[in-house]
Amino acid sequence: MTDLSIRANRVAALKAAAKERILILDGSWGVMFQKKGLTEADYRAERFAAYNGQMKGNNDILCLTRPDLVAELHDAYFSAGADISETNTFSGTTIAQADYHLGEQDVWDINLEGAKIGRSVADRWNAQNPDRPKFIAGSMGPLNVMLSMSSDVNDPGARKVTFDQVYEAYRQQVDALYQGGVDLFLIETITDTLNCKAAIKAILDWRDEGHEELPIWISGTITDRSGRTLSGQTAEAFWNSVKHAKPFAVGFNCALGADLMRPHIAEMARIADTLVAAYPNAGLPNAMGQYDEEPHETGHALHEWAKDGLVNILGGCCGTTPDHIRHVADEVRGVTPRQIPERPKAMRLAGLEPFELA
């Protein structure tokens, strides 16, 4: 069997599993690395010893300097009941990594090795239990720059990057993640829909060159009680902006805990003709920036979402741990996944607000 057919079989298994049950994503990576008490030397190792600036906190380079810890965390989340684990490549673009003075080859290697580590752990699990396969999602996170908003309050047209530059950064990430063996692409924690569109275009163009059609999962973030993304869109406007990609799943993550995220997930469940996914934070951070929500509290809240038919995929974001994911997995086991609604055909457009022509 060729590598292409093996991956095609995994994609088919992913889609089949999503019809049978609510799938479980992993939880936070940052909080788990923080618990390790890593030093600057852990982040640098020999490869980055002479690089300028601080490397501590750049969790993505642990794919190269402490791959053992990355593999250990994939394993912990799979043990907790996760069906899908993300690559440790949330900031794996040349634009984001420029803050740490990393070059193009460094960033390529982060994505390639991050995907290989996840693939190796998932393959080991799948060999032991082929009837309950594990999957690896290539994490494509937000950037530290925005295309939709000015970088200078005195110049509305000012931007630090162009669309082509953002597109190219994501295009490189897509190629490396694929070569490393991911099963799907996860464009996540989207604050700026135009940045997201560059990532989508990178994947679609890559497909058009004859590559495999891996599923796309798109996850935005509602940044506060306004119910809008940072670039100003409502949940429905956001969906109208990205639905042309025909994503495998769409939803929200980060910024909010389950209580505050629920109405936005409910709205997405009403309008999206694809799977709906959600992975909230463990509540809101306290005054010290820590997350106090206990695993059983997260599990109970997401059980309510599941029994009300709102979701197809659940997981955790900031502050969540393998214990949180274990409680979520236990709480939704046996609950029927959301049924995808049929919506009447209409022209649906997006600005900051949705617009529909019946």
Q: What are phi and psi of 66, to 5 degrees?
A: -140, 60
Q: Which residues contact 179 (CB under 8 A, 6 or more apart)?
A: 112, 115
The burial of 223, by beta-carbon neighbours within 10 Å (0-12 exposed, 13-18 middle, 19 or more buried), is given as middle
Q: Extract the runs of DSSP E, i.e. beta strands, from 50-104.
A: 84-86
- The angle at the Cα of 65, spanning 62 to 69, to the nearest 5 degrees, equals 55
Q: Extract the runs of DSSP E, i.e. beta strands, from 95-213.
A: 135-140, 184-190
| CA–CA gap between residue 344 and residue 358 (Å, rounded) | 8
| CA–CA gap between residue 28 and residue 321 (Å, rounded) | 6
Where residue 183 falls (left for φ over 0; alpha for ψ -120 to 50; beta otherwise) is: alpha
Binding site per annotation, positions for Zn(2+): 254, 317-318
Q: What is the three-class DSSP state of 72?
A: helix
Burial letters for 123-161: b for 16+ Cβ neighbours within 10 Å, e otherwise?
A: bebbeeeeeebbbbbbbbbbbebbbbeeeeeeeeeebeb
Please list the residues that pair with 188 across neighbouring strands.
none
Binding site per annotation, positions: 254, 317-318
